[in-house]
């Protein structure tokens, strides 16, 4: 079928909408009419050629939510008309997938960033040109996608579907890091560096988990104010005095630190502000070279923990976060600003400039 999709090509400031052809779903796939898709910083970096390289031309987007329009012959858990949130790519049969840890699938990087299905084919094309797709098993900057059954999470029909796409990446990453990767317990403490959508999701999750202190660190006073509204007990402006301010808050250090930034100096601070046997969690890599102070880590039993997708199984955690939203405990809708799909250039610019916490494209 013919669809509209935003294509990333060399030299473009942002993806541009084009008409493409979309394959019919295979036996283990579903076709989804996308209602809305969030824009994530991973999309920005991949479009700009930064971070993990992706082939071009490609359709990005990996925070899609929509309605199932067709199902492959082997699909059993979904039906036409179901509302779904699309999550990341995984093989479904490696050791990590078999124990419900799909974010650590042995093929996740290739399946997420390779621009193709597992067999090397793309569901997208246009006459005379190969278009890379299946970005994070979805390529949701489009009116329609085909996605593996295991990547589509069925959600209740009474929830505003256009809000739910960011649960598939940014929000599950932040919340899952606290609830699943750290398994933060009541009375423990957390400092979050960078309160964009991932950091703010971590703040909200820490309040749910019963953290005794939740400190938010950012360069933006406006985002720090939002962090307070969402559950931060303390806020610290990110500058030369931040280390001292954190020591004043927790003289013996924090149980956990969670770094969403790429600044090497923040990586250092995230490790040094920990309590004995504390854990520093990271969801991105530093700009340029960085190495921890191993003497400090060894002497204090501190740990560095890399986290992908919040270490959370989407089929379990997305419904859980929706239930927390129903209860008023995870008000992620406060992060969202909507843009028409045709206004993707404005949404892209707003996200790049940091003017919007979570831009969502309405198809």
**Rounded Cα distance, 193 and 85, in Å:** 27
Residue 259 lies in a domain: yes
User: What is the phi-psi region of residue 120: left when phi exceeds 0, alpha when psi lies from -120 to 50, beta otherwise?
Assistant: left
What 3-state class would DSSP assign to 332?
A: helix
Same domain, 109 and 13: yes
Residue 68 lies in a domain: yes
Residue 323 lies in a domain: no
Q: CATH number of the domain at 240, please.
A: 3.40.50.720
**Rounded Cα distance, 278 and 253, in Å:** 8
Choosing from 308, 323, 353, the residue where a domain stops is 308
User: What is the phi-psi region of residue 148: left when phi exceeds 0, alpha when psi lies from -120 to 50, beta otherwise?
Assistant: beta
Q: CATH number of the domain at 50, please.
A: 3.90.180.10
| Total number of domains constituting the chain | 2
**Rounded Cα distance, 340 and 347, in Å:** 9
57 preceded by cis ω (within 30°)?
Answer: yes
Residue spans of the chain under pLDDT 50: none
Same domain, 19 and 160: yes
Same domain, 290 and 218: yes
Provide Rg for the chain, Cα atoms. Answer: 20
**Nearest CA among 99, 22, 109 for reference residue 59:** 22
Same domain, 80 and 147: yes
Query: Tell me, what's the pLDDT at 175?
Result: 98
**Nearest CA among 217, 218, 190 for reference residue 204:** 190
Residue 316 lies in a domain: no
Same domain, 277 and 192: yes
User: Within 13 Å, how many C-alpha atoms sit on residue 314's CB side?
Assistant: 31
Helix %, strand %, coil % for the chain, to 5?
35, 25, 40
Residue 318 lies in a domain: no
Same domain, 45 and 113: yes
Same domain, 160 and 178: no
Same domain, 263 and 336: no
Query: Tell me, what's the pLDDT at 305?
Result: 97
Same domain, 18 and 134: yes
Same domain, 208 and 83: no
Query: Tell me, what's the pLDDT at 51?
Result: 81
Same domain, 118 and 151: yes
Residue 165 in contact with residue 189, Cβ under 8 Å? Answer: no
Write down the residue that tokens 């996605």 correspond to: 147
Task: Supply 272's token pair.
Answer: 């040094």
Residue 319 lies in a domain: no
Same domain, 158 and 284: no
Query: Tell me, what's the pLDDT at 296?
Result: 85
In order of 182, 266, 280, the CA distances from 292 in angstroms are: 20, 11, 11
Residue 144 lies in a domain: yes
Residue 325 lies in a domain: no
Domain that holds residue 71: 2-168+331-362
């Amino acid at each position: 079928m013919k669809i509209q999709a935003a294509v990333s090509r060399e030299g473009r400031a942002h993806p541009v909408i084009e008409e493409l052809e979309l394959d019919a779903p295979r036996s283990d796939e579903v076709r989804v009419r996308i209602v809305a898709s969030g824009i994530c910083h991973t999309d920005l970096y991949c479009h700009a050629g930064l971070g993990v390289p992706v082939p071009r031309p490609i359709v990005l987007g990996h925070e899609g939510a929509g309605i199932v329009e067709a199902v492959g012959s082997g699909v059993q858990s979904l039906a036409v008309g179901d509302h779904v949130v699309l999550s990341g790519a995984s093989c479904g049969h490696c050791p990590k997938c078999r124990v419900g840890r799909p974010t650590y699938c042995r093929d996740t990087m290739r399946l997420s960033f390779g621009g193709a299905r597992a067999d090397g084919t793309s569901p997208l094309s246009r006459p005379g040109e190969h278009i890379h797709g299946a970005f994070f098993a979805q390529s949701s900057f489009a009116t329609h996608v085909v996605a593996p059954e295991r990547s589509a999470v069925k959600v209740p029909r009474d929830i505003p579907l256009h809000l739910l796409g960011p649960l598939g990446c940014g929000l599950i990453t932040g919340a899952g890091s606290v609830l699943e990767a750290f398994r933060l317990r009541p009375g423990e403490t957390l400092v979050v560096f960078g309160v964009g959508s991932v950091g703010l999701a971590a703040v909200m999750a820490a309040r749910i988990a019963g953290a005794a202190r939740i400190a938010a660190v950012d360069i933006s006073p406006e985002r720090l104010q939002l962090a307070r509204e969402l559950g931060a007990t303390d806020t610290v402006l990110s500058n030369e005095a931040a280390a001292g301010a954190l020591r004043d808050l927790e003289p013996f250090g924090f149980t956990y630190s969670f770094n969403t930034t790429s600044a090497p100096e923040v990586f250092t601070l995230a490790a040094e502000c920990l309590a004995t046997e504390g854990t520093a969690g990271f969801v991105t890599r530093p700009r340029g070279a960085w190495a921890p102070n191993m003497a400090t880590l060894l002497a204090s039993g501190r740990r560095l923990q890399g986290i992908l997708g919040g270490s959370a199984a989407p089929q379990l955690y997305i419904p859980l976060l929706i239930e927390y939203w129903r209860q008023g405990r995870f008000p992620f809708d406060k992060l969202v600003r909507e843009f028409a799909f045709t206004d993707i250039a404005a949404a892209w610019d707003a996200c790049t400039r940091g003017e919007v916490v979570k831009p969502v494209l309405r198809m």
